[in-house]
Amino acid sequence: MPAAAPLQVAPGVHRVSVPLPFPPREVAAWLLEDGAGHTLVDTGIDTPPARGALRDGAERLGVTPATLRHVVLTHAHIDHYGLAGPVRAWSGARVCMHEREEALIRAFVDDWPAERHRAAEEFRAHGVPDGVVPELIAATDRIHAQYEDFRPDDLLAGERGDLPGGGGWEWLLTPGHSPGHVSVYHPERRILIAGDHVLPRISPNIGADRYVPDPLSEYLASLARLRDLPVELVLPSHGEPFADLAARVDDIVAHHHERNEQLLALLERPRSAYELALLVFPDLPADTRLHALRETLAHLAYLERAARVVREGERGALTPARYTRCPLPR
């Protein structure tokens, strides 16, 4: 099937649809035109159909190795950055991401055998049965294999700055879905390239692990900061562009509070994180179960910080850590 033509969503802002071999089946790469040059925000995954779609889109928009100067990655998930290396090899463009994202990759990749061992201990400490730990480790290995060789050229630091490539675009640190996730914003034109921070149809996955202990607190805080930004057009990585940022933020925040209440209701007796994950997300294959556990841990960390639950038992102890609901303050 030939790739769809790029869609101009605003003057000089083009959406290139890049296919994914897994749900949600498609990711957007954004080509920003600015006078002589182009900036690419996200690249898609590295598969032959994705390469074809990105190349075809770039050709139709008149992008050449000489005009493509910068690649900005919203975050280091495989569906967004996978083609960054090949695009750099083709064009010589400089690839940037936030330094928090790069630090996460380094922590996850360097010294992997020891990290892998600690990950297995963490799973056991959260109540994953010995027979299931190898499945979750295998899922972690598959994620790890995607990160091994990645090195950006430039790092973004701080909370906000001018986008490399200029044109009045800025980047904003919007952590939660990933700790160094950035959104791309044009204050005068009121356009927000939201990455995976705010999606129209699905609630972005927010997962905790040993590298990111409390992502939900960060996510809710960054959503609150973004909510009232002057924005008229939101460009998400998955799904169609939309207009009402505040309404969508409110929906996502409500979803997380409902999930918190669901977990609190299940904690009528002490339970491990894994037990809770299976109750909230039943019948999942191993890859998805890893995400379910991480999502559950994100909620538990948030509730623990809010003094709504307490954790009993130490991490790494022989008996898994169990969570209990706190009595509501009078």
- What residues line the site for Zn ion (CB under 5 A)? 77, 79, 196, 237
Give me the least distance between CB of 204 and Zn ion, in Å please. Answer: 7
Cα separation of 312 and 302, whole Å? 16
Nearer to Zn ion, 212 or 276 (CB): 212
Q: By the 8 A CB rule, do 68 and 15 touch?
A: no
Query: Rounded CA gap, 279 and 89, in Å?
Result: 46
| Helix/strand/coil (H/E/C) assignment for every residue in 19-60 | ECCCCCCEEEEEEEEECCEEEEECCCCCCHHHHHHHHHHHHH
51 or 77: CB nearest Zn ion: 77
CB of 222 to Zn ion, least distance (A): 14
Nearest approach, Cβ of residue 20 and Zn ion (Å): 8
Of the pair 30, 323, the CB lying nearest Zn ion is at 30
- Six token digits for residue 118: 């600690």
* Cβ proximity of 93 and 40 under 8 Å: yes
As measured in angstroms, the least distance from the Cβ of 77 to Zn ion is: 3
Between 164 and 207, name the residue whose CB sits nearer to Zn ion.
Answer: 207
| Residue ranges of E strands in 75-196 | 94-98, 154-156, 160-162, 170-173, 182-186, 191-195
What is the residue type of 268?
Answer: E
Closest CB to Zn ion among residues 11, 23: 23
Q: Nearest approach, Cβ of 79 to Zn ion (angstroms)?
A: 5
List helix spans (H) across 110-244: 112-125, 133-145, 215-227
Beta bridge partners of 271: 323
Nearest C-alpha neighbor of 209 from the set 143, 285, 283, 129:
143
Nearest to Zn ion of 140, 237 (CB atom)? 237
C-beta nearest to Zn ion: residue: 77
Minimum distance from CB of 280 to Zn ion (Å)? 21
Choose between 24 and 213: whose C-beta lies nearer to Zn ion: 24
Q: How far is the CB of 122 from Zn ion (least distance, A)?
A: 22
Q: What's the N-to-C CA distance of the chain in angstroms?
A: 63
